Amino acid sequence: MPTINAARLLEDLDQLRRFGEQASGVVRPAFSEADIQARHWLREQFKQAGLRSVIDGVGNVLGYSRNPGKAILIGSHADSQPTGGWLDGAMGVIYALEVARTLSESPAHRHLAVDIVALQDEESRFLGCLGSRSLCGTLDHQAEQDAVDKDGIRLIDAIKLAGLSDTPREQLDPKRYLGFLEAHIEQGPTLEAQAKRLGIVTDIVGVRGLKAIFRGQQNHAGTTMMSMRRDASTALYEFAYRINQRFAAEAAARSVWTMGRVKLIPNATSIIPGYAELDLQFRDAEESQLELFTSLAQQVREVMIKASSVDIELVEARSPIKPSRMSASLYQYLEQAAQAHAPDSWMHLPSGAFHDAGIMASLMPSAMLFIPSINGISHDFAEDSHKDDLVLGCQVMASAVAAMLVEHS
């Protein structure tokens, strides 16, 4: 088995962290200045690893092997949440780089074809999994034209600002690949709670997003009697409360839902808001549960509009993502490598977080490897993982990739 260079891996993780570094975390949302700088740095690293390296028209950084034969694609996303952790996404990108370098330096493996990728906007600044959707040819043109971030900045303007408007967009040929492998921090407490060092993902939950829009009448909070009000915030609070009641009553064991973003206009203490927005996101491994939640939200709206002086509109806020199954014929190599390097310290688990591998799975067999998140924390400056887990995960990835490519060459 080829052996990774642990010091180089940790050094490159630190290098990537510097783009957008803030306190112990990173602020590197898709198409921010820090993100674009990071992508140019990654392209250079991919090139120095001997790969044909490009940044494509949506900001994906790809490194293609020059070797013939069936290839494996490895990678994750390089963008972060608005206030994110240093490993989320970034770890899987640097793993891919280190695995490609490790195999190219091994006389027994340097003839094998490892492609690597740093994907764009997995974290939904504009459009979740923009990069993997684009590579798979499933990016909706209209959704792309309409996409704006929370401040109203348009995706197409962000692409222009990054100088990518006229840059070709890469597409993946599934015939080239045995499959896609993504490593990621778990972002949850399961591995730590079970005292396991590695997780092999069986399924990725589906995600849907609805936006509830409340239209009333802005007015003075002192002179407008309660009976005359059309208060958008009052309708929002009631809608959110009813959603929490109804969803809880009909949830499956691992269903989750979140209403983490609110906008009131004008959002002032002494003014009745005339307009409000609420984001409702929900996830489950079963498509039927996502359908049920969608219809429950519509029912809550219908009940409320009969009695409310506020108009309520419910729109699809993001492209829905179906639950997806990881490929057992692919992740068997992860199982074997995990058992070899960390006997009985690994487990199977579903992913409650969505990942680019869920998009890639529509194009080719895909699999994911998790390492533990300390205290299960992610999407926060406090996100971290133990150094020895970081090194172990990358070694398992390298061993699995080598075994898989050797077997198929």
Q: How far is CA 250 from CA 118, 150, 291, 295, in A?
A: 38, 30, 12, 11
> 218-257 burial string, b = 16+ CB within 10 Å, else e?
bbeeeebeeeebbbbbbbbebbbebbeebbeeebeeebeb
Binding mask 265-284 for its own copies (x = CB under 8 A): -xxxxxxxx-----x-x-x-
* Residue 227 DSSP class: G
CB nearer to its own copies: pick between 43 and 208: 208
CB nearer to its own copies: pick between 279 and 335: 279
What distance lies between CA 188 and its chain's CA centroid?
A: 14
CB nearer to its own copies: pick between 49 and 201: 201
CB nearer to its own copies: pick between 341 and 355: 355
Structure tokens at 64: 């293609």
For position 82 contacting its own copies by CB under 8 A, the verdict is yes
Selected from 18, 160, 261, 387, the binder of its own copies by CB under 8 A is 261
3-state secondary structure of 102: helix
Specify the pairing of strand 113-119 against strand 61-64: antiparallel
Q: How far is CA 265 from CA 38, 261, 268, 344, in A?
A: 36, 14, 8, 54
For position 385 contacting its own copies by CB under 8 A, the verdict is no
For position 259 contacting its own copies by CB under 8 A, the verdict is yes
Distance of closest approach, residue 308 Cβ to its own copies, in angstroms: 12
Which residues are paired to 52 by β-bridges?
Answer: 64
Q: Which of residues 319-378 bind its own copies (CB under 8 A)?
A: 351-354, 376-378
294 Cβ partners below 8 Å, 6+ apart?
A: 208, 210
Q: Does residue 334 contact residue 200 with C-beta atoms inside 8 Å?
A: yes
> What whole-number distance in Å separates Cα of residue 159 and Cα of residue 171?
18
CB nearer to its own copies: pick between 7 and 226: 226
Binding mask 97-126 for its own copies (x = CB under 8 A): --------------------------xx--
CB nearer to its own copies: pick between 142 and 269: 269
Selected from 23, 225, 249, 307, the binder of its own copies by CB under 8 A is 225
Selected from 143, 148, 264, 374, the binder of its own copies by CB under 8 A is 264
CB nearer to its own copies: pick between 353 and 402: 353
For position 221 contacting its own copies by CB under 8 A, the verdict is yes
Selected from 40, 47, 110, 150, the binder of its own copies by CB under 8 A is 150
Selected from 231, 356, 384, 389, the binder of its own copies by CB under 8 A is 231
Specify the pairing of strand 71-77 against strand 177-185: parallel
For position 309 contacting its own copies by CB under 8 A, the verdict is no
Q: Which of residues 159-198 bind its own copies (CB under 8 A)?
A: 186-189
What distance lies between CA 34 and its chain's CA centroid?
A: 18
How many chain residues touch its own copies (CB under 8 A)? 65
Q: How far apart are the first and last CA of the chain?
A: 16
Distance of closest approach, residue 337 Cβ to its own copies, in angstroms: 24
CB nearer to its own copies: pick between 16 and 276: 276
409: how many CB neighbours lie within 10 A of its CB?
13
Three-state helix/strand/coil letters over 151-195:
CCCEHHHHHHHCCCCCCCCCCCCHHHEEEEEEEEECCCCHHHHCC
Binding site for its own copies (CB under 8 A): 81-83, 123-124, 150, 186-189, 205, 207, 209, 218-226, 228, 231, 233-234, 237-238, 240-241, 244, 248, 251, 254-262, 264, 266-273, 279, 281, 283, 317-318, 351-354, 376-380
